[in-house]
Chain A
């Protein structure tokens, strides 16, 4: 594994304004008209890096900001604050045209195999479109040839290239999505919950395929998942996200071997398993995930944490290096 940093994310913030325009932001509070913007802090000061050839995973429950982070890193969204470096170059605020060279190197695999393929395009059109657009192949004939090769590589029969997405099953559609991502020879692939919408027996096929492709082409992955057991098998390092921030980050062996943050422990004990003995003592979080509109003042996990102290409600913990390469944000450590 090379030590070269492919992706570096520094202090990334992503805010969404729910109030549109001046009129919507007006509200009546205590009999007075006040102007208040509703802002969702989807991602709140996130730092991480991904080395060449590495699989970095972001794990968390819905609303924790993992997908928004992914979409910001690949610049579907412009970050509110912070920087994203691709091979040392700041791409956080590049415009559409300036981004074009990077579009070739970064691709994404999506969660929902039913929404990620245009139902009006045939499989070959879906896979050939990116190659032709970026000029990776000269002629349509070359594109078709390469499309068939890619289909074969991801486990589809090339003679089905003329079909439409609805003629395929969920797992096959996900393979089509993977072939589309591979079409431009990317170096970096973001996989946003690529298996969570698939049947269990198909999940393993797709995960194995992603791993095989990584070995073959030397990709780096940013892998987004809510399922810890999926993450365990494919990542080199991972970050656990909660309410827009990373609460624990480190090497796979470190995090799975010695989970530090109470939230990580809660996640671990909540994963349903078949006949396996739990690794950590079973603890349960109280209550529900708070809305990202109303942040707790101190630690974001404080109102659900079984170990909270008075300090946790007051002061926000920072990520600290607890053991080499293993970070956690908790006052108790």
Chain B
């Protein structure tokens, strides 16, 4: 893949200035994504994974403040883009799918109205007939049977999974270059989750759309994506190809996260877990944020914050003692 990057984020910082102090929800995060690539951002609650995506779209509301050295999207620097420009980009070049399919659609309008709305806004050249044609095409692409009739129905006539399909159809209506999906299947049942994930993967591959999939579930990610960013307390702690992160993970947090997933095909009386809990965002440890929970923690980890460094080409981790998998399992360098 020697294509140019579609999105280049450098030094993204989103701070919330609340009465208790400053929350560094996203702290100095850099990553890039190529056209048609699928990137997974994984983290637990409070890791800043969702705020990252809101920051890219400049949807962070006060008391949040977004700063970045650079957010280069398709040749444009979004840090300098005004609200007017952003409105053009949102929904057209970058679109989003949110977690809750029950509240993402307006219950008062038909599916057709809500789908056409995006087209009217971003594809003003289309005629009425063309728009309807496109809506039907999109609905059948996301696997909704009888799209013609269903266009006239209201969101409450659709089940959760079906609504999420409609939302995906709306998100893809303008052929965006980048789709951001924030926990798109968390509110759905496993059997439905499976269907939706497969569908999304198929669609973005067909349209050569880049996808950022935000989720707390490493298992979901490992099936879907090309690259993974692991976040912890607003920091990027590890990034690399899916293979790198799942099989040769270098950061102890990634390791802990993977181990704590209950295995379906293995009997175990007790599960592995990461001890302790996510630190308070107002009172973060001085050194590595993961140090208090890390079983490999050394003196330096408690005092000095590790920087991201390359472990293998394209595989980076922010750890003073990254785990080297090829040498010996689980051993410290």
Task: Give yes or no for direct A-B contact (beta carbon below 8 Å).
Answer: yes
Instruction: Check if B298 is an interface residue, CB within 8 A of chain A.
Output: no
B60 shortest CB reach to chain A, Å? 23
Task: Please give, as numbers and ranges, the residues of chain B lying within 8 Å of A272 by CB-CB distance.
Answer: 190, 193-194, 217, 219-220, 222-223
For the A-B complex with A199-B45, A270-B194 known, give 14 more contacts whose Cβ atoms are closer than 8 Å: A61-B189, A61-B192, A62-B189, A199-B278, A200-B257, A201-B44, A201-B260, A202-B277, A203-B262, A227-B262, A270-B191, A272-B219, A274-B261, A277-B265
Instruction: Check if A101 is an interface residue, CB within 8 A of chain B.
Output: no
Task: Please give, as numbers and ranges, the residues of chain A lying within 8 Å of B189 by CB-CB distance.
Answer: 61-62, 226, 289
Instruction: Check if B258 is an interface residue, CB within 8 A of chain A.
Output: yes
Chain B, 84-117, CB within 8 A of any chain A CB: none
Instruction: Check if A137 is an interface residue, CB within 8 A of chain B.
Output: no
Instruction: Check if B137 is an interface residue, CB within 8 A of chain A.
Output: no
Closest B residue by C-beta to A282: B194
Instruction: Check if A319 is an interface residue, CB within 8 A of chain B.
Output: no
Considering residues B216, B222, B264, B270, which has the most beta carbons from chain A within 10 angstroms of its beta carbon?
Answer: B264
Task: Please give, as numbers and ranges, the residues of chain B lying within 8 Å of A211 by CB-CB distance.
Answer: 269-270
Instruction: Check if B272 is an interface residue, CB within 8 A of chain A.
Output: yes
Asked if B264 and A229 make an inter-chain contact with CB atoms under 8 angstroms apart, the answer reads yes
Chain A, 285-321, CB within 8 A of any chain B CB: 285, 288-289
Instruction: Check if A158 is an interface residue, CB within 8 A of chain B.
Output: no
A186 to B237, CA, bound (A): 43
Asked if A199 and B159 make an inter-chain contact with CB atoms under 8 angstroms apart, the answer reads no
Q: Contacting B159 at CB < 8 Å: which of A172, A228, A289?
A: A289
Task: Please give, as numbers and ranges, the residues of chain B lying within 8 Å of A36 by CB-CB distance.
Answer: none
Q: Contacting B273 at CB < 8 Å: which of A208, A230, A232, A289?
A: A208
Instruction: Check if B205 is an interface residue, CB within 8 A of chain A.
Output: no
A175 shortest CB reach to chain B, Å? 10
Number of A-B contacts (CB under 8 A): 120
Asked if B264 and A268 make an inter-chain contact with CB atoms under 8 angstroms apart, the answer reads yes
Instruction: Check if B72 is an interface residue, CB within 8 A of chain A.
Output: no
Task: Please give, as numbers and ranges, the residues of chain A lying within 8 Å of B261 by CB-CB distance.
Answer: 200, 229, 273-274
Task: Please give, as numbers and ranges, the residues of chain A lying within 8 Å of B247 by CB-CB distance.
Answer: 275
Task: Please give, as numbers and ranges, the residues of chain A lying within 8 Å of B270 by CB-CB distance.
Answer: 208, 211
Task: Please give, as numbers and ranges, the residues of chain B lying within 8 Å of A274 by CB-CB distance.
Answer: 218-219, 222, 246, 258, 261
A202 to B220, CA, bound (A): 18
A199 shortest CB reach to chain B, Å? 4
Instruction: Check if A34 is an interface residue, CB within 8 A of chain B.
Output: no
B250 shortest CB reach to chain A, Å? 16
Given known A-B contacts A229-B262, A284-B194, A201 and B268 have beta carbons under 8 A apart: no
Contact with A along B198-241 (1 / 0, CB 8 A): 00000000000000000011111011000000000000000000
Instruction: Check if A267 is an interface residue, CB within 8 A of chain B.
Output: yes
Asked if A201 and B264 make an inter-chain contact with CB atoms under 8 angstroms apart, the answer reads no
Q: Contacting A226 at CB < 8 Å: which of B44, B190, B195?
A: B190
A202 to B262, CA, bound (A): 12
22 contacts between A and B (CB under 8 A): A61-B190, A199-B278, A201-B44, A201-B257, A202-B44, A204-B271, A207-B262, A207-B271, A228-B190, A228-B264, A232-B263, A232-B264, A232-B267, A270-B190, A270-B191, A272-B190, A272-B220, A273-B264, A275-B246, A279-B264, A284-B191, A288-B161
Instruction: Check if A276 is an interface residue, CB within 8 A of chain B.
Output: yes
Q: Contacting A273 at CB < 8 Å: which of B260, B263, B277?
A: B263
Task: Please give, as numbers and ranges, the residues of chain A lying within 8 Å of B260 by CB-CB distance.
Answer: 200-201, 203-204
Question: 4 tightest CB-CB pairs across the interface, nearest first?
Answer: A204-B273, A61-B189, A272-B219, A199-B44
A46 shortest CB reach to chain B, Å? 20
Instruction: Check if B162 is an interface residue, CB within 8 A of chain A.
Output: yes
A64 shortest CB reach to chain B, Å? 9
A211 to B162, CA, bound (A): 38
A195 shortest CB reach to chain B, Å? 9
Closest A residue by C-beta to B193: A270
Task: Please give, as numbers and ranges, the residues of chain A lying within 8 Å of B275 by CB-CB distance.
Answer: 205
A274 to B262, CA, bound (A): 10
Contact with A along B260-298 (1 / 0, CB 8 A): 111111111111111101100000000000000000000
Task: Please give, as numbers and ranges, the residues of chain B lying within 8 Å of A276 by CB-CB distance.
Answer: 263-266
Q: Contacting B191 at CB < 8 Å: which of A201, A266, A277?
A: A266
B317 shortest CB reach to chain A, Å? 18
Asked if B263 and A229 make an inter-chain contact with CB atoms under 8 angstroms apart, the answer reads yes
Task: Please give, as numbers and ranges, the residues of chain B lying within 8 Å of A269 by CB-CB distance.
Answer: 194
Closest B residue by C-beta to A171: B277
A199 to B42, CA, bound (A): 11
